[in-house]
Structure 1
Amino acid sequence: MGESRKLLLFVSNPGEGVFNSLRVIAAELARRGTQDLWFASDEARRADIEKIDEGSGVRFASLGETDPNSSPADWDDEMYRLATQRSRWKAHHAVVRRGFDPKGGGDKYLALDALVEELEPALMIFDSVNPVALLVALNRRIPFVLSSPFLPSNLYIAKTPRGFPMLHTGLPLNMSFPQRVSNIMFKVRAGLMFLHPKMLKPALEGLSYMRQLQLPREFLSPSAKIDRADLVLCYTVFGLEYPFPVPDKFHLLGAIIPPLPEAPDDDDLSRWLDANPSVVYIGLGTISRLTGHEVHAVVEVARRLEGRHAVLWKLPSGQQHLLPPRDELPANLRIESWVPSQLDVLAHPSIKVFFSHGGANAFHEGLYFGKPQVIRPLWVDCYDQAIRGVDSGVSLTVDDPQTIDVEDVLDKITQVLNTPSFRERAEHFARVQREAGGVRAAADLILANLALK
């Protein structure tokens, strides 16, 4: 291809947490008439990209089938238990070990490298947890943009000030003495983790693999993706994230929200929301695996709210067999296995509080629509969002995330509903996120990149 081509290549892991924001940005660029847009991901994401029909459209390139072990939704019960256990350190260690792949995905690397050789993109845009795309971009010397729904300190922890909470600790900025000790120990153990035999062996294998591909070993450095990126787009704002200095290439844009409504034909749910002026929305994430006890506890929470508030609960179909018989469910509870658009739900004025798992996307999307939250953190980074929600005055966290205690959850929901400051702070961060620019600002920054001039 000639140098006049200014082709943009999006690359994404298939997980919804990182995929959705890139899909929305690609659609925005297509809507503006941007030519030569490509999107590479696993075959399972083909339909999501091919249905983007705005403007110039986006062409899809498959990187093959999804590794069933790569998605948390597909983990076996033991891995799920390890990743969501009570110990913050042990959960962090388990997740890092599971995702540690110094070979950069092997076949995925070769597939993406061949695609890049064919397309010769002027710029790559990919998620911040994508070692395959990073290695290809670095090796081919292609300018790239990082996309991250995570807190910027999650990416830039090595540059945060002394005493800043380590990622995945769930610790506040202002720590007690025991918390400071815990934070230091967490950092030390994280630094030594790669000397563990189960981490050292694959790391050495990765170095050997890098030599085979003739890639410099410094490409494996944790800071390589930040140091070499043209732009880093993070979907939060300071005030939710704790303050710390970031380089000019970091842009905090707030949640990435597409044009709404996403599901304009969902009349039945819309009518139900219209008919219930105060609704608690429960969406505990696609990864959560509730026990029978926890499912019955949520039903009881809804029962206790009857007469004052309705409850909309997104409960996956695979867990609905744990529900009591239909005739024993409270009249104020509506259960959906899937909502066509969680964003449409959160945008509805009847939603007064969001009971969530505290995932980065759910946390910021809820606040984008001014919804205060009650958070039951599921795993690693969810604890970081949860403590920032408490410190910014937009949410409360359940006392014991390892279970669902009816009295505690009901108390937290009632406090958030009845205390105006939670709604006021949530609405404040709704305004701040909109001012940050979201998807429009992301598209502007990408199109302004010198690689496209």
Structure 2
Amino acid sequence: MGEGRKPLLFVSNAGAGVFNPLCLIAAELARRGTEDLWFASDECCRADIEKIDEGDGVRFVSLGETNPDSSPADWDDEMYRLATHRSRWKAHHAVVRRQFDPTGGKDKYLALDAAIEEVRPALMIFDSVNPLGLVMALKWKIPFVLSSPFLPSNLLLARTPRGFPMMHTGLPLRMSFPQRVGNTMFKLRAGLMFLHPRMLRLALEGISLVRQLQLPREFLSPSAKVDCADLILCYTVFGLEYPFPVPDKFHLVGAIIPPMPEAPDDDDLSRWLDANPSVVYIGLGTITRLVRHEVHALVEVARRLHGRHAVLWKLPAEQQHLLPPRDELPPNLRVESWIPSQLDTLAHPSVKLFFNHGGANAFHESLYFGKPQVIRPLWVDCYDQAIRGVDSGVSLTVDDPQRIDVEDVLDKVTRVLTDPSFRQRAEHFARAQREAGGVRAAADLILGNPALK
């Protein structure tokens, strides 16, 4: 490395939930004139990184094509069914078994290893579900920052107090006796799951990698990424997460939001929003796969809201064939396959409620703009955000996430829209997130790392 050169290397999986915050932080650093920024991810992320034109931009490093096992959007129907199973345990088990790989994949390991040899970063920043970043940071003895859109307890299970809800259970902090028993059993089964032959084989591969690369044995610890990190960025605030002690290296900076407006040229949608004083926005994420009767149920929800609220629905193009004929859609419903900026939509004063899947980014972004929610949890961590939303007074959760019941959704939407406490609590957390600093605070913390001095 040349004298005074301090390259920063971001590493991210391709999943939007973990990629988007890191992409926005990289853009913020570029905007500040930070030099020698690099971003390693799957090839499908190239365009998003290369369009960053602030400062000297960010140089992209391709890690090859996305591994279907690690990309929920590419899972087959059977895996999707298991990952979204009614049983929280079966869903957790399916997702962890499918995604667990302590080495990160040989081809990607080789690509990132070569990139680090070329770039020689002074600091790495990578997402919390990225074993590849951890392996390389430890191998090359590079200080690193961990990025997590999830709740802090997701990373600190071993440090949470006794009786704290296990991640992916969707259980509240205050549990009934049956819930406490269920929580204990979930934790026990989660530990025993690693005795499964596939998990043991992958764990043995991790041990072999430690020996080959002469990595610290800490790599094999479940808490290695937390213990070895210089800094951990979590995109939430306490009050949403249940209170418990966290290490000083944890910084809860709130949602990562770019400079607004994000897509200022979207005149047509803006005019429609301006013309409708009360809009329910439906966005169920990029992974949700609706079936015909669910699509028709949401159309009926919109029909029942006609005269009181308009409905904007972001529905992927590949699912729009499930809609009724266009002339049978209610006049208050606008369906879009693509919205230039979900953030601009949430920021618009006409949007009064966000009906979403409970993903970490969607949950926190909605609150950043002071919008209460109705949540239909999709899978694993979505249930955890949903129960935090209920307990913090900013959202309600549908009774049965496995089906869309018109009466239930209407009831939840109406209650949230008519009870001012939901909006007031959402606005409280909007202020808390702005005070936490978001993307500016994350950039400040990264640039303040001793490795860059």
Give the TM-score category using the shorter length. Answer: over 0.9
Alignment of 1:303 onto 2:303: yes
SS in 1 for 2:433: helix
5+ unaligned residues in a row in structure 1: which ranges?
none
1:265 positional shift: 1.1
Identity among equivalent positions (%) equals 84
The answer to whether the Cα contact below 8 Å between 2:82 and 2:94 also exists between their aligned partners in 1 is yes
Question: Equivalent residue for 2:332?
Answer: 332
- Matched residues in 2 for 1:216 and 1:247: separation? 21
- Matched residues in 2 for 1:371 and 1:201: separation? 46
Deviation digits for residues 296-327 of structure 1 (CA, Å, limit 9, x no counterpart):
00000000000110000000001001000000
Query: Mapping of 1:152-191 within 5 angstroms?
Result: 152-191=152-191
The answer to whether the Cα contact below 8 Å between 2:7 and 2:120 also exists between their aligned partners in 1 is yes
The answer to whether the Cα contact below 8 Å between 1:103 and 1:210 also exists between their aligned partners in 2 is no
Alignment of 1:421 onto 2:418: no
What amino acid does structure 1 have at the position aligned with 2:43? E
Deviation digits for residues 196-222 of structure 1 (CA, Å, limit 9, x no counterpart):
223222222332343333334431211
What amino acid does structure 2 have at the position aligned with 1:157? L
Deviation digits for residues 32-89 of structure 1 (CA, Å, limit 9, x no counterpart):
1111111111111111111101122111111111123321011000000000000001
Question: Equivalent residue for 2:270?
Answer: 270
Question: Equivalent residue for 2:112?
Answer: 112
The answer to whether the Cα contact below 8 Å between 1:105 and 1:131 also exists between their aligned partners in 2 is no
Question: Equivalent residue for 2:366?
Answer: 366
Comparing 1-10 with 144-153, greater Cα deviation is found at 1-10
SS in 1 for 2:68: coil
Question: Equivalent residue for 2:349?
Answer: 349
- Matched residues in 1 for 2:125 and 2:424: separation? 35
SS in 1 for 2:307: coil
Question: Equivalent residue for 2:250?
Answer: 250
Question: Equivalent residue for 2:92?
Answer: 92
The answer to whether the Cα contact below 8 Å between 2:69 and 2:99 also exists between their aligned partners in 1 is no
Question: Equivalent residue for 1:25?
Answer: 25
SS in 2 for 1:69: helix
TM-score by length of 2: 0.99
Alignment of 1:192 onto 2:231: no
Deviation digits for residues 182-239 of structure 1 (CA, Å, limit 9, x no counterpart):
1111111111111122322222233234333333443121111101101000000000
SS in 1 for 2:362: helix
Question: Equivalent residue for 1:11?
Answer: 11
Question: Equivalent residue for 2:442?
Answer: 442
What amino acid does structure 2 have at the position aligned with 1:144? F
What amino acid does structure 2 have at the position aligned with 1:254? G
What amino acid does structure 1 have at the position aligned with 2:240? L
What amino acid does structure 2 have at the position aligned with 1:5? R
Deviation digits for residues 372-430 of structure 1 (CA, Å, limit 9, x no counterpart):
00000000000000000000000000000000000000000000000000000000000
SS in 2 for 1:48: helix
Comparing 335-344 with 195-204, greater Cα deviation is found at 195-204
- Matched residues in 2 for 1:145 and 1:313: separation? 36
5+ unaligned residues in a row in structure 2: which ranges?
none
Alignment of 1:430 onto 2:439: no
Question: Equivalent residue for 1:318?
Answer: 318
SS in 1 for 2:383: helix
SS in 2 for 1:334: strand
What amino acid does structure 2 have at the position aligned with 1:30? A
SS in 2 for 1:240: coil
SS in 2 for 1:66: coil
- Matched residues in 1 for 2:69 and 2:449: separation? 36
| RMSD (CA atoms) | 1.0
Q: How many residues are treated as equivalent by the alignment? A: 453
The answer to whether the Cα contact below 8 Å between 1:137 and 1:143 also exists between their aligned partners in 2 is yes
Question: Equivalent residue for 1:215?
Answer: 215
Question: Equivalent residue for 1:101?
Answer: 101
Alignment of 1:400 onto 2:376: no
Change (3 A) 1:166 1:3: farther
- Matched residues in 1 for 2:33 and 2:331: separation? 48
- Matched residues in 1 for 2:103 and 2:13: separation? 16
Comparing 204-213 with 135-144, greater Cα deviation is found at 204-213
What amino acid does structure 1 have at the position aligned with 2:27? A
TM-score by length of 1: 0.99
What amino acid does structure 2 have at the position aligned with 1:339? I
Question: Equivalent residue for 1:261?
Answer: 261
- Matched residues in 2 for 1:61 and 1:280: separation? 40
What amino acid does structure 2 have at the position aligned with 1:318? E
What amino acid does structure 1 have at the position aligned with 2:374? V
The answer to whether the Cα contact below 8 Å between 2:102 and 2:132 also exists between their aligned partners in 1 is no
1:148 positional shift: 0.5
- Matched residues in 2 for 1:22 and 1:155: separation? 18
Question: Equivalent residue for 1:67?
Answer: 67
Change (3 A) 1:99 1:3: farther
The answer to whether the Cα contact below 8 Å between 2:283 and 2:315 also exists between their aligned partners in 1 is yes
The answer to whether the Cα contact below 8 Å between 1:169 and 1:384 also exists between their aligned partners in 2 is yes
SS in 2 for 1:374: strand
What amino acid does structure 1 have at the position aligned with 2:222? P
Alignment of 1:81 onto 2:73: no
- Matched residues in 2 for 1:435 and 1:214: separation? 43
- Matched residues in 2 for 1:214 and 1:249: separation? 26
- Matched residues in 1 for 2:228 and 2:212: separation? 22
